[in-house]
Chains A and B, each alone.
Chain A
Amino acid sequence: MNRRKLEEKCVKGLMVLSTLLIFGTLALILATVVIKGLPALDWAMISQIPKGGFYLGKEGGILNAILGSLYLAGGATLLALILGLPVVLYLNVFARKDSRIAAFTRFSLDVLWGVPSIVFGAFGFIIMLSAGMRASLLGGILTVTLLILPILCRAMDEVIRMVPPDLLEASYAVGATRLQTALKVVVRQALAGILTAVLIAFGRGIGDAASVLFTAGFSDQIPTSLNQPAATLPLAIFFQLGTPFHQVQQRAYASALILTVVILVTSVLSRLLSRTFTRHTIQ
């Protein structure tokens, strides 16, 4: 009797320890980024583009990378939403819920989710080469769209699946078509979840470096058209860390802090939004 209790106590102690270790590591990562990044962060970092000799430690900032990342992730999220929302509505409204097509699509989206982002990058580059495109904002947007499409679709699917079937039937009963039901009832009911999904996808898109490594290029200028190469935050961090100069490396830490803050804000925002918008849904 005593041994059983003792074993339970020991295992439970181990569990608490490992839980503390995992969440402690999260805290450690955030603390490291803040402690290292904050001293190097100043207004010039955020408000200026790199001046001559920036990567040798001269003046300038990373506004090009911040805006480049926002353009890129924003464009990709918009495109993925335009492609993904019809897919999800098709799965949940047009196709029957337990149909084979729906199951297969969910499966292949899950598998696509698992494909490493570097493979997306290489695939995007093949497509761009065969289309005669150079590394550009557009190339980056297209590649990141493919990367976040499965995330966006599956996250939206999870919420739209939860829309009660009675609601659909009520809409059909007053004579609405499936399209009208999908756009005016289902989307409105699941709006909170859709917005959360969009922000999750945006966060993933802005943080990914491997997929834009070959496709978006890098530039010290802020891109003014889709055909120009665009700098991105993750790559800016990577390149700055790769230089042998202490001051430039410091800036990499500051850039990492900026990226982390963007991600944190996105994450918090998605939670707030989902809370604000669920007030209008029918339970």
Chain B
Amino acid sequence: MPNSSRPFRLWLDRMAGRSMAVLTGFACLIVVLMAVGLYWKSRPILESKSLGELLFSEAWYPLRGQFGFKPFILGSICVTGVAIAIAVPLCLLTAVYLAEYAPRWIRNGSKPLIDLLAGIPSVVYGVWGILVVVPMVAHFASSLRLTTSGYCVLSAGIVLAVMVAPVILHVTVEILRSVPREFREASLSLGATHWQTIKHVILRKALPGVIAAIVLGLSRAFGETMAVLMVAGNVPKTPGSVFDPAYPLPALIANNYGEMMSIPLYDSAMLLSCLILMIIVLLFNILARLVLIQAEKQVQ
């Protein structure tokens, strides 16, 4: 039926286009749906307590109806801060080396290795943390005459630093490589050394992108759950030093959600902590992505 087959395939094309558009819309909406769902479920606690009390109170006694998230939020910030402080200098140096100095075989060979590092499951990082990092930190602390179990902010920070390194490296190398060659050549032709060119021209040009890469790493570290849960120590108290245990938000959720549903507002409190986590990470992500899109436009 040659005559009727032509309208059919056009009709099919139109139908396919429409259903694909619907799926695309759904994909766009998932983030919004998640945020709305979490907000809706955490409303009971938001209505019965003030936001200030929830965010800034130190008291975490769910049985007495006291839900202060401060130790957990500060725990997350401390752990993430340590991770970023370790990861950023190392990653920047490595990224500059890979993008500028390394011979081609190292640069090409490093890509699959970075992908591999990014693909290792967080539980495996956690196992590594327990086996290597925790004893190392405990040993280091005892040589400073401090007592710690090793399950502390510093251990979690080290493990997280290794975990976010591939994220930061990947984006930074790409950003550095995308600086137009003319900038390099202009600087070199004026007699600048390679390092001066990098310092004054390339890094300056790539700065927004590099910051975005760091922020992406930061948000990855902030939301990372299993590895942190395994090495951070999980004591609901604001850490006073890097050798104190911490109890970051994701670990709180992972340890307690789904249990103790009989305590009033407990379920709601857990979902509120999910919402807090999601909002912080979303803000970081949106900022970083906007900067990266801008950087991409500049290159083109």
Contact = CB atoms under 8 A, between A and B. Distances in A.
Interface of A: 4-5, 7-8, 11-12, 14-19, 21-23, 25-26, 28-29, 32-33, 36, 83-84, 86-87, 89-91, 94-95, 101, 103-105, 107-112, 114-123, 125-127, 146, 149-150, 153, 177-180, 200, 203-204, 206-210, 213-214, 234, 237-238, 241, 252-253, 256, 259-260, 263-264, 266-267, 271
A28 B132 contact: yes
Given A21-B90, A114-B284, A241 B120 contact: no
13 contacts: A14-B93, A15-B93, A19-B94, A29-B128, A114-B216, A126-B41, A149-B30, A153-B27, A178-B13, A207-B121, A237-B123, A263-B120, A266-B119
A114 B285 contact: yes
Chain A to chain B: the 7 pairs with minimum beta-carbon distance, closest first:
A116-B223, A207-B121, A15-B97, A114-B285, A90-B20, A177-B13, A8-B195
Given A178-B13, A259-B123, A12 B195 contact: yes
B293 interface: yes
Contacts of B116: 26, 264, 267
Interface residues of B, number: 82
Nearest to A271: B112
A210 B162 CA distance: 19
A119 B34 contact: yes
Interface string B162-196: 10010001000000000000000000000001111
Given A36-B131, A234-B226, A177 B9 contact: yes
B113 A177 contact: no
B31 interface: yes
A109 to B, nearest CB: 6
Contacts of A14: 93
B223 A32 contact: no
A16 B106 CA distance: 11
B263 interface: no
Interface string B223-260: 11110001000000000000000000010011001100
A23 B90 CA distance: 11
Contacts of A213: 254, 258
A209 B127 contact: no
A150 B115 CA distance: 17
Interface of B: 9-10, 12-13, 16-17, 19-21, 23-24, 26-28, 30-31, 34, 37-38, 41, 89-91, 93-94, 96-98, 101-102, 110, 112-113, 115-117, 119-128, 130-132, 162, 165, 169, 193-196, 216, 219-220, 222-226, 230, 250, 253-254, 257-258, 270-271, 274, 277-278, 281-282, 284-286, 289, 293
Contacts of B250: 116, 118, 210
Contacts of A126: 37-38, 41, 271
Given A22-B94, A122-B38, A125-B257, A207 B223 contact: no
- Secondary structure class of chain A's binding surface, majority of residues: helix
Nearest to A177: B13
B282 A87 contact: no
A122 B257 contact: yes
